[in-house]
Structures are given as structure tokens and as C-alpha cells.
């Protein structure tokens, strides 16, 4: 499916649609027009004579901003910028994230305030459409003057340098241009800076993780509802009346989802001997709901950034103005990604506590959810694994945005560390999938020990799990069970309406 890049504001549903369905991009006519208009403005004012020093166009960069560059060297200036800034290191960024980086860079350049050529933007579109993904590394960005290092790696293949991944193989920038019949670009004034200024590295993570988090947030209710029935919990904490007198939007939504998931459950409807349940069960709406409210805030920030121009300087042809500012600074994303990490790590934290309670050998359940416990250790170590991951998440959730290190000879004296916030959040979200998978395994096992039936929907979830993971009769190797349960969570599509 083709998506047209235009000035139309992107919604979260648009991002979900692009993630699931879009295979090709196309520049809309209005985008081509404004890109060309902005480029024509720069060519007219900086193409023929040495002009007034203007940052990023005919000057050096960072603390070299006062060094004027001759008009004959403007192309070399831009190429030098890309080459010198490609200092990424660490693990390679996944193709999923690189694909989002391409999309978001194209979108930002298409608003007509960056001064790039249509040819350059079209080449990025070609990369996206042909599945040519530049090799980018996780480490190197301070999230301040844009994601300089990762975006430099994104740009290298445009000028025939760097490396790309294409159809499962690795090629140099020169090789991929030869294979595709593309000429390496000769960057014009401002184009190199427009490519590496911007927040598209941390923003790509933000988009991807927002989509993942929405899905995991709903799945956390499925595993929680299974645990509620598996542990024979009361339904009174989910009564709408108590949530209406503390009407946080996320809390109301969370309680409603739990009620829906447990509709027609014989276990839920049954009278209980236990007067109260542990917090990890009865406070699910309050904890999950607070995370949902945080997710809504994060998504709002992400969407604003998706619909923004974040390079510098910005060109305004209609008012004959070039303004140097700081739209590249990643502070909004750094704070949002840190907030996302904290909120989502709580989803794993409370999930692990429910898993712990299911192991207790109370409420009619055998110790460690296994018959003949003693000879069999049962599911004991599943909780250990979840606890280990939750502990790691607590460390990773410590904010990156509270740190700043001076760079560029003091010119860039406050940085966001948003890139570090992004990569840490990525690990946290990945960890949560495993913790929820473990709760899915243990809660489904607990359900199978119940005399009465859970809801029809939850029975279908247990049935899906049992297609690949059998009931735990006696001790067996379990790492494969975790992997299969995790795949069920990752690859089972949920109705988007449930997530809103």
C-alpha cells in the first residue's frame, strides 16, 4: 500500500496504519512544490556569490560557526560534515527502527523549511521503497544538536559511502548505488546539515515503542485477568462506581477492560472466601491506568514531533528569512521516553508480583503450580526469571534526561541525552514482553487447576497458548515455553479500538 507524504497532520492511527500496511511512499504534489520553493530560495541567495555568513549554509558547524566558507566549497563542506559525524558505535539498530528513521526524515524535510532538493528527498523515498536500510549504530548521539551520529550514518549511502542492508545482505554505499542504478548525490548548500540535524533517531524509537506499548498495555490486562481468575479474586475492586469517584481516564479504562475480559466467567461470579486480595490484583486499574495516562501523554509528544521540522537553520522563503534556532534539541522526547520507561516498567513490576502470588500454594493451587511438588520444582524458576528482568528494568528506568555533558567546545552546553533514553526504553519494552509471557504461562496453568470456567474470551487465549505449550504435568525444560508464550503476545493482532 502507498502512503503519500504531505503536509496533512499524522495521527496515531496513521502511524499504526503505516507500521502495518504501508510498503511504499510517494511525495505528494504539494510537498514537492514546497521543497522546490525552499531550495530555489537558497540557490538564488547563496549559489552565485559569497553571501553574508549564515549558519549551516556557508559557515562551519558547532563552535566553528563563525568560520565562513567560500561558495566554491559548499558541496565539500556538506560532504565533510556527513563523513566526520558518522562516529556511531555499539549494536546495530534494527531495520524496523531504520525504516521509521527514513520515513520520519522524509516527513520532516517535506514541510519545505529545510532547504534540501527534491532529488535528495526522493532518494530517501527510494531507500524506503526498495528496502535499502543504512547501517546505523545505537551509540553516539547526545540528543542535542539533533541525532548527529546516527543520522550521519543514515546519510552516508546517499553520497556512496557507509553501508546498507538490502535483501538480507550487506553492501557498501557505492555497491548499492551501482546495483540500483543510482548516482551518488552531490550535496548542495545546507543539505548535509538538514540530513543530520533533527530528532529522527530518538523519534523513530518513540514511534515504534509507543505502538508496542499500546499493544502490551492491553495484553497486560489479559494476563492480569487470567491471574485474577487463577487466584480466585474478588471482582469488587473493578466495580465502576469506585472508579467514577476517582475518575482518572486510564483507571476507568483499565477497570472497564478487566470487567469486559471477565464477562461470563464462572470463577469471577463465584462467591469468594477471601475478603481482600493483594494489591497486585485489586489495584490493577490504578497501576495500569496510570500507565495508560502516561502513554497518552507520550503519544501526544511523539505526534507533535512527527509533524514538526527539527533541523536548523530553518528557511522561510515567503518572508525572505533564515532563522537559526534550536528545534533539534531532544528535550521533549528525552522526557517523554524516560516517562514511558518508568510507566511501562511498572506494568512488568506488578505482573511479576501476580506471578509470585500464583506460586504460593494457596487458594487451592499447588505450590509452584505443579502436581507432586517436591519431586517436581514446577514453575518456581519462572518467577525468578521475571524478578531478574524486573530488577533490570528498574535500573534501566532511571532517567537519562537528568544528565547533560558539555560538547563542541562549550557551544552545545546542554544536551538532552534523548538517544540514550530511547535505547534504554527499547530494552525495557522488550523485557516486558518476556515478563508478560511468564504471567501468561503461570496464570493459564492456574486456570487449569480451577473447578469452574473462566470467561469465553480468556478460554480462547488459554487455548491459543495450549496449541504450542502443553499443561505443565511434571518438570521439563521451559525456556522454549517462554519463547512460545512471548511469540503469542508479539504476533497476535489486537483490535485497535481496544487500545484507544
| Residues annotated catalytic, as ranges | 55
Compute the distance between CA of residue 41 and CA of residue 45 in angstroms, rounded to an integer.
6
Q: Which three cell numbers stand for residue 411?
A: 557551544
Compute the distance between CA of residue 52 and CA of residue 65 in angstroms, rounded to an integer.
13
Exposed/middle/buried for 314, CB within 10 Å: 0-12, 13-18, 19+? buried
Exposed/middle/buried for 28, CB within 10 Å: 0-12, 13-18, 19+? middle
Torsional sign, CA 356, 361, 364, 365: positive
Main-chain phi, psi angles of 476, to 5 degrees: -150, 170
Q: Which three cell numbers stand for residue 267?
A: 470463577
Compute the distance between CA of residue 303 and CA of residue 12 in angstroms, rounded to an integer.
7
Half-sphere exposure of 179 (CA within 13 A, CB side): 16
**Nearest Cα residue to 305 out of 214, 210, 213, 216:** 210
Torsional sign, CA 52, 56, 57, 63: positive
Residue with cell 530553518: 314
**Nearest Cα residue to 196 out of 86, 96, 91:** 86
308 DSSP assignment: S
Q: Which residues of 108-141 are buried (b: 16+ CB within 10 A; e: fewer)?
A: bbbbbbbbbbbebbbbbbebbeeebbbbbbbebb
Compute the distance between CA of residue 241 and CA of residue 443 in angstroms, rounded to an integer.
27
Residue 247: partners with Cβ closer than 8 Å, 6 or more residues away = none
Amino acid at each position: 500500500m502507498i502512503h503519500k507524504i504531505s503536509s496533512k497532520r499524522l495521527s496515531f492511527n496513521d502511524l499504526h496504519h503505516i507500521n502495518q500496511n504501508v510498503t511504499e511512499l510517494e511525495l505528494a504534489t504539494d510537498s514537492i512544490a514546497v521543497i522546490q520553493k525552499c531550495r530555489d530560495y537558497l540557490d538564488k541567495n547563496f549559489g552565485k556569490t559569497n553571501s553574508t555568513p549564515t549558519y549551516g549554509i556557508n559557515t562551519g558547524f558547532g563552535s566553528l560557526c563563525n568560520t565562513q566558507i567560500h561558495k566554491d566549497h559548499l558541496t565539500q563542506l556538506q560532504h565533510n560534515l556527513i563523513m566526520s559525524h558518522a562516529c556511531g558505535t555499539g549494536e546495530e539498530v534494527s531495520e524496523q527502527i531504520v525504516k521509521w528513521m527514513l520515513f520520519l526524515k522524509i516527513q520532516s524535510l517535506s514541510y519545505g523549511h529545510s532547504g534540501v532538493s527534491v532529488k535528495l528527498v526522493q532518494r530517501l523515498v527510494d531507500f524506503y521503497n526498495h528496502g535499502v536500510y543504512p547501517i546505523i549504530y545505537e551509540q553516539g548521539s547526545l540528543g542535542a544538536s539533533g541525532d548527529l551520529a546516527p543520522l550521519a550514518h543514515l546519510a552516508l549511502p546517499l553520497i556512496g559511502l557507509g553501508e546498507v542492508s538490502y535483501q538480507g545482505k550487506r553492501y557498501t554505499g557505492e555497491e548499492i548505488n551501482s546495483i540500483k542504478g543510482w548516482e551518488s548525490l552531490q550535496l548542495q548548500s545546507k543539505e548535509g546539515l538538514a540530513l543530520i540535524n533533527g530528532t529522527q533517531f530518538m523519534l523513530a524509537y518513540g514511534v515504534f515503542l509507543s505502538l508496542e506499548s499500546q499493544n502490551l498495555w492491553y495484553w497486560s490486562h489479559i494476563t492480569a485477568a487470567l491471574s485474577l481468575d487463577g487466584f480466585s479474586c474478588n471482582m469488587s475492586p473493578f466495580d465502576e462506581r469506585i472508579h467514577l469517584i476517582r475518575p482518572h481516564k486510564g483507571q476507568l479504562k483499565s477497570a472497564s477492560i478487566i470487567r469486559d475480559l471477565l464477562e461470563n466467567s464462572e470463577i469471577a461470579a463465584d462467591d469468594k472466601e477471601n475478603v481482600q486480595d493483594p494489591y497486585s490484583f485489586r489495584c490493577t486499574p490504578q497501576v495500569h491506568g496510570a500507565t495508560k495516562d502516561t502513554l497518552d501523554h507520550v503519544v501526544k509528544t511523539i505526534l507533535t514531533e512527527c509533524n514538526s521540522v527539527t533541523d536548523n537553520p530553518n528557511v522561510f522563503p515567503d518572508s525572505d528569512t533564515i532563522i537559526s534556532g534550536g528545534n533539534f534539541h531532544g528535550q521533549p522526547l528525552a522526557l517523554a521516553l524516560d516517562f514511558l520507561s518508568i510507566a511501562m516498567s511498572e506494568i512488568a513490576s506488578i505482573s511479576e508480583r501476580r506471578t509470585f502470588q500464583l506460586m504460593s500454594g494457596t487458594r487451592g493451587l499447588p505450590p509452584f503450580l505443579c502436581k507432586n511438588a517436591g519431586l517436581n520444582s514446577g514453575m518456581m524458576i519462572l518467577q525468578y526469571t521475571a524478578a531478574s528482568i524486573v530488577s533490570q528494568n528498574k535500573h534501566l528506568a532511571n532517567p537519562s534526561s537528568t544528565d547533560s555533558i558539555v560538547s563542541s567546545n562549550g557551544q552545545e552546553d546542554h544536551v538532552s541525552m534523548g538517544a540514550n533514553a530511547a535505547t534504554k526504553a527499547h530494552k525495557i519494552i522488550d523485557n516486558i514482553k518476556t515478563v508478560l509471557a511468564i504471567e501468561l504461562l503461570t496464570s493459564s496453568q492456574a486456570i487449569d487447576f480451577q473447578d469452574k470456567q473462566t470467561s469465553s474470551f480468556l478460554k480462547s487465549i488459554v487455548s491459543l497458548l495450549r496449541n504450542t505449550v502443553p499443561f505443565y504435568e511434571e518438570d521439563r525444560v521451559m525456556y522454549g515455553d517462554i519463547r512460545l508464550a512471548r511469540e503469542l503476545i508479539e504476533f497476535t493482532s489486537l483490535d485497535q479500538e481496544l487500545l484507544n
